[in-house]
Chains A and B, each alone.
Chain A
Amino acid sequence: MPKEYRTIQEVAGPLMLVRGVENVTYNELGEIELQNGETRRCKVLEIDGGNALVQLFENSAGINLDSSKVRFLGRTMELGVSEDMLSRVFDGLGRPMDGGPDILPEKRLDVNGLPMNPAARNYPQEFIQTGISAIDGLNTLVRGQKLPIFSASGLPHAELAAQIARQAKVRGTDESFAVVFAAMGITFEEANFFIESFKETGAIDRTVLFVNLANDPAVERIATPRMALTAAEYLAFDKGMHVLVILTDITNYADALREISAARKEVPGRRGYPGYMYTDLASLYERAGRQKGKNGSITMIPILTMPEDDKTHPIPDLTGYITEGQIILSRELYRKNVTPPIDVLPSLSRLKDKGIGEGKTRADHANTMNQLFSAYARGKEAKELMVVLGEAALTDIDKLYAKFADEFEREYVSQGYHADRSIEETLDIGWKLLRILPRSELKRIKDEYLDEYYSAD
């Protein structure tokens, strides 16, 4: 039985100071027992001689400085994992909340994980077909990638994420897959939307859910993604499954981080977020990937809402520096009723180059992709000019580009949330659009592909 302390000195926000402790270590998990027998969890943030500064994972209501007891458990926060976790729903701290029995853990894992040795990583290069042209054709997702969705309030990121989860497959394989879903501070409605959508397709049997809703304690959110990723790592690297992890909403997670940092009176970085937020986010995102000698993989789709639609806000900014690209949703396209409203120009998949081409998608993929990007960029410029100066001010060729941009948004991007296009369909639509332009404009495409596809009908 670990030693109990009744020496809580201070409770302020999510922090608590305990005096006179012995043999307590950094990052150790603790338990607070209230008078009514209820227990809450906490972890050690700083230990200075006999003073332990601890962070609560749950709210502090009811803690009494004199009568509440604190125990330190001699281990860090752990999650008991087993394959039975599939199809179950857990709360933000990994406790079952679907009324089912407790999990009989096969083993217990430290939720913080261990950094992956870069020499032991396998480079992600297997093409995942999501059936969404704007992603498959232009911002290709590969197995083991972390590709966030940058959204904003009121945009349909949930529909897009659910569509990806529903349609994503590696073609020509029949390997076991799983979805791990972590909700951080989102509303019941949004969480329910995902659950319903998993049920609809039957994917729910292969899904592990960790749910911290908007009315759950904010500090619990610090642990939620780590729980989810620990489960994902177990399924991927111990059980050889291909795991898709959806984390939503990272913005709420970062705000919880800021809350703790502010309570500790740390020197704030930009917009009050702590200076170590980059490292902290990296410790989540970098857990995606593939490993040498292991069959499974973790592909991660974090979702974040950009405050004020601002991509330079610290949360999207730091995320973009860590993740391997980003899918950006645009309010302008959403207003034009483009579904999904993916703004392809600032979107990017950094790993696409190794995932596309002959033997993976099709030989002409890389060339047409670059051409579509630059043609769409030029078309948008032409359209801007048209707004200012009128159509007459455009050269003939720019008029074609403007037409291309319109058609591109309508046919290529706007496919709806239920169309599942094969990569060939996507590429063919691309060629159909490129035929709007004269062949001499298609400088980024090799002659052989132009010969094969440009004139073909």
Chain B
Amino acid sequence: MSTGTIKKVAGPLVIAEGMRDANMFDVVRVSEQHLIGEIIEMHGDLASIQVYEETSGLGPGEPVESTGSPMSVELGPGLIGSIFDGIQRPLDDIMKATGNNLQRGVSIPSLKRADRWTFVPSAKIGDRVIPGDIIGTVQETPVVLHKIMVPQGVSGTLAKIEGGEYTIEEAVAIVALDEGGERELTLMQKWPVRVGRPYREKLSPDVPLVTGQRVIDTLFPIAKGGVAAVPGPFGSGKTVVQHQLAKWSEADIVVYIGCGERGNEMTDVLNEFPELKDPKTGYSLMERTVLIANTSDMPVAAREASIYTGITIAEYFRDMGYSVALMADSTSRWAEALREMSGRLEEMPGEEGYPAYLGSRLAQFYERAGRVVSLGQDGREGALSVIGAVSPPGGDISEPVSQATLRIVKVFWSLDSNLAYSRHFPAINWLTSYSLYADTIGRWFSANVEEDWTDLRNRLMRLLQEEAELDEIVKLVGMDALSAPDRLKLEAARSIREDFLHQDAFHEVDTYTPPQKQGAMMRLVLAYFDEATKALNQGASVESLVKLPVREQIGRFKYTPDEEMEREYNNVLHQLQSEVADLLNRKEEE
């Protein structure tokens, strides 16, 4: 422990003297108000501290006290369903303590100390345990079985373990350590946020994280353990995409980080998630969600910490063997916080004022994602998928944050303001987006959902590609210059866009489409194209094919509830065939 005094205050940066004994990245308490800060630079006796709270009213001479330990989060039962600020303080408890506005220097433990949890042991006395081994479980919410793991640096033999009701600080087991001595294990452990939690082995991702969003699952899928970026100008629906993924992706745990974004968006999540039912479990989505909120009016330094807080919590659940999805909205605000601190530290700036280490910091963050074999003797697998939103100024992704992100991520969902203006949502541009998992995951879909998934997908992509080329021609010489088959292609592509890709997040059925239905929908829009092409070759006119009444039914198929899907699918297909047949018959009669 070391105590010093403030020398300089400039915004969130405080420089303290007399700090020679402190360690880099130690958490410090600043001034009489005990504001929380972190040491980010040492120069001899002087420590530069980024303070996670508003520094108004601080002045030279006030005390600074190091706690001697790095910034850590508390991991244990009570995480799920909570909303924390950037340094894991519980915002609901803070509200009870200090009212609707955030006061400074509030000290409330992250996890509730008084709550009692029922611990069910799964190991027994005499078992040998190593770090990562599961010794028992707590049913934290109806859907989350919280597994209690042996923390780092503890291996030995269980000397005592007993089920029952415990708070997170009481000992549930005692380990006789290999090196001698004993260690009590509690339901809670701590972990420093800037260090990735260890695992035994990393695997390559090959199973899709099904999201129920058609343009994502079909065209640009993300794997469990994969990383994706969603860049887009404002108003292009980044946040809606993030919310949709948080709601519907097939993950056991969702960690949602609102990093420098609007307060009302977090409120929206807080209001809406408890109401929404997880299609898999039937329980509310809040029962699997952890929220981290550093809204844009909250202190900027804590924004820098918020994504580390979030990903450490996500890693903890990954270590239990769960599939975890983490959404960070938006990493640009995190980068700006980094830039602000860098500016105050008077570092030599890189591009656009961002520090030169921006790229490596981003890479370190995203690299904490992945599918892993956890520590412990049972070799369980967990996955952590990370989806980061990027808010490029002016929507121009040539800026440093977007570029540094693109170098790392495997999936890129490019949001397009023109699509958003015509209210095509999700406004993911099918020409500029990509997914490097498309092949491996296409194989999974082919094996598990639809035999010819990859073929269907490729046909969709090809039609969309051709549409873009044909559009160029139409712009130059007009629709009349196109041949009939080309006009049909344009119509088919329009149907892909409007009937398949366009998805209404606010429609009760359309908001989530299971993979089977996605397959059926792909078949339907392509069936129209195939039947129409055939009819065209037999002499039907394009105009009549474009006007087929069945197209309206194809367009409405997405609103068909899942249980009626199969019947309706056959219905529409039958209708299509009979209408085309009618058309040809009439043609012959003429």
Instruction: Name A residues whose Cβ lies closer than 8 Å to a Cβ of B.
Output: 23-28, 45-50, 76, 110, 112-124, 144, 237, 266-270, 275-276, 278-279, 282-283, 285-287, 289, 291-294, 311-314, 317-318, 320-322, 324-326, 345-346, 348, 351, 353-354, 366, 370, 373-374, 377-378, 385, 388-389, 393-395, 440, 443-444
Contact = CB atoms under 8 A, between A and B. Distances in A.
A374 B423 contact: yes
A312 B263 contact: no
A27 B55 contact: yes
B296 A294 contact: no
Contacts of A113: 101
Interface stretch (B58-66, B216-224, B529-537): B58-66
A451 to B, nearest CB: 14
Interface string B314-354: 00000000000000000001001001100100000100110
Contacts of B459: none
A120 B555 CA distance: 42
Contacts of B55: 26-27
15 contacts: A26-B9, A26-B11, A27-B57, A118-B295, A119-B95, A266-B343, A283-B296, A289-B264, A292-B100, A314-B393, A317-B393, A348-B235, A377-B422, A377-B423, A443-B556
A375 to B, nearest CB: 10
A346 B264 contact: no
B259 to A, nearest CB: 12
Given A26-B58, A47-B60, A279-B300, A115 B506 contact: no
Contact of B267 (A122, A326, A366): A122
Contact of A114 (B101, B266, B396): B101
Contact of B10 (A45, A279, A313, A394): A45
Interface string B2-41: 0000011111000100000000000000000000000000
B85 to A, nearest CB: 9
B264 A278 contact: no
B422 A345 contact: yes
Interface residues of B, dominant DSSP: mixed
A2 B293 CA distance: 40
B235 A326 contact: yes
Given A275-B339, A314-B393, 17 more contacts: A25-B9, A26-B9, A48-B8, A116-B263, A118-B267, A119-B91, A119-B266, A121-B264, A123-B267, A267-B353, A276-B340, A278-B333, A278-B336, A292-B100, A317-B234, A373-B423, A443-B552
A348 B234 CA distance: 10
Contacts of B298: 115
A120 B100 contact: yes
B343 A287 contact: no
B393 A116 contact: no
A443 B59 contact: no
A252 B211 CA distance: 44
Contacts of B99: 120
Interface centre among B100, B393, B556 (most CB of A within 10 A): B100
B83 interface: yes
Nearest to B266: A118
Interface residues of B, number: 79
A429 to B, nearest CB: 19
B340 A275 contact: yes
Nearest to B17: A49
B101 A116 contact: yes
B101 A115 contact: yes
A446 to B, nearest CB: 8
Interface stretch (B117-125, B127-135, B476-484): B476-484
Contacts of A267: 343, 349, 353
B70 interface: no
A124 to B, nearest CB: 7
Contacts of A26: 9-11, 55-59
Given A116-B297, A374-B422, A46 B336 contact: no
Contacts of A275: 336, 339-340, 343, 353
A61 B424 CA distance: 56
B109 interface: no
Contact of B102 (A116, A370, A373): A116
Given A26-B55, A26-B57, A27-B57, A282 B9 contact: no
Contact of B340 (A279, A289, A311, A389): A279
A25 B100 contact: no
Contact of A119 (B60, B103, B270, B475): B270
Interface string B239-282: 00000000000000000001010111011101100000000000
B263 A118 contact: yes
Contacts of A377: 421-423
A444 B556 CA distance: 9
Nearest to A328: B235
A457 B420 CA distance: 32
A324 B102 contact: no
B394 interface: yes
A440 B57 contact: no
Interface centre among A76, A266, A269, A283 (most CB of B within 10 A): A269
B514 interface: no
A318 B300 CA distance: 16
Contact of B422 (A270, A286, A324, A378): A378
Q: Among the interface residues A117, A291, A366, which one has the most CB atoms of the partner chain B within 10 A?
A: A117
B91 A118 contact: yes
B45 interface: no
B36 to A, nearest CB: 15
B50 interface: no
Contacts of B551: 440
B396 A312 contact: yes
Contacts of A444: 504
B268 A123 contact: yes
B439 interface: no
Nearest to A376: B422
Contact of B394 (A115, A312, A354, A395): A312
Nearest to B423: A373
A5 to B, nearest CB: 15
B395 interface: yes
B332 to A, nearest CB: 8
A394 B260 CA distance: 47
A444 B510 CA distance: 12
Given A47-B8, A267-B343, A279-B336, A119 B235 contact: no
B421 A351 contact: no
Interface in B378-429: 391, 393-396, 417, 420-424
Given A49-B7, A366-B506, A25 B267 contact: no
A242 to B, nearest CB: 17
Interface in B65-115: 83, 91-92, 94-95, 99-103
**Of A26, A122, A286, A351, most B-chain CB atoms within 10 Å:** A26
Given A47-B9, A312-B395, A351-B264, A294 B339 contact: no
B103 A114 contact: yes
B498 interface: yes
Contacts of B299: 115
A118 B422 CA distance: 32
Interface in B544-563: 547, 549, 551-552, 555-556
Q: Which of the listed residues B56, B91, B339 has the most CB atoms from chain A within 10 Å of its own CB?
A: B56
